[in-house]
């Protein structure tokens, strides 16, 4: 089964995506900030991380930098899922191996699930 971690500080959004991905057959863990997200990745070694950028304690960019410095996290697939437009995003994200950049407000949860399937080369069940 495909394991994903959703790192999102907004409880309603986090829960909505957890529900949608679970319903679509993914094994889902969630984290409310980058520090907890990093710890979850270390423990669970997911196939993919859905990562918000603006979060308390540790933001998504810092979590991603920390993740990429580890042996186990260097190649984890990451999709940034945020409401920060690509123009406003930190410029060094492109050097941190992000598979996709998704603006939440522009996509439905079903579209996000389809993009995750695309990135991981998973056929729709």
What are the domain boundaries of the chain? Answer: 3-120
Instruction: Check if the beta carbon of residue 23 is closer than 8 Å to that of residue 52.
Output: no
DSSP, res 125 = -
Give dist(CA 81, CA 102) in Å, integer. 5
For 17-71, the pLDDT digits (tens) are: 999 999 999 999 999 999 999 999 999 999 999 999 999 999 998 999 999 999 9
- Burial (Cβ within 10 Å: 0-12, 13-18, ≥19) of residue 87: exposed
pLDDT of residue 95: 63
What is the model's pTM?
Answer: 0.91
Which of the four CATH numbers 3.20.20.140, 3.40.50.2300, 2.60.120.10, 2.30.40.10 does domain 3-120 have?
3.40.50.2300
Dihedrals φ, ψ of 94, to 5°?
-65, -20
Query: How far does CA 124 lie from the centroid of its chain?
Result: 19
For 65-123, the pLDDT digits (tens) are: 999 999 999 999 999 998 877 777 666 666 667 888 888 888 999 999 999 999 998 87
Give dist(CA 56, CA 35) in Å, integer. 9
Locate all alpha helices (DSSP H) within 1-125, ordered by sequence.
11-23, 34-44, 60-68, 109-120
Say if residue 1's pLDDT is above 90: no
């Amino acid at each position: 089964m495909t394991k994903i971690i959703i790192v999102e500080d907004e409880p309603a959004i986090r829960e909505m995506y957890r529900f949608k991905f679970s319903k679509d057959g993914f094994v889902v863990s969630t984290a409310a900030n980058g520090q907890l997200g990093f710890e979850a990745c270390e423990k669970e070694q997911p196939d993919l991380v859905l990562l918000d950028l603006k979060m308390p304690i540790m933001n998504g960019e810092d979590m991603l930098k920390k993740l990429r410095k580890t042996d186990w996290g260097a190649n984890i697939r990451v999709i940034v899922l945020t409401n920060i437009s690509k123009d406003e995003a930190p410029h060094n994200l492109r050097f941190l191996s992000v598979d996709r950049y998704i603006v939440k407000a522009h996509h439905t949860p079903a579209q996000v699930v389809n993009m995750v399937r695309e990135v991981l080369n998973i056929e729709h069940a």
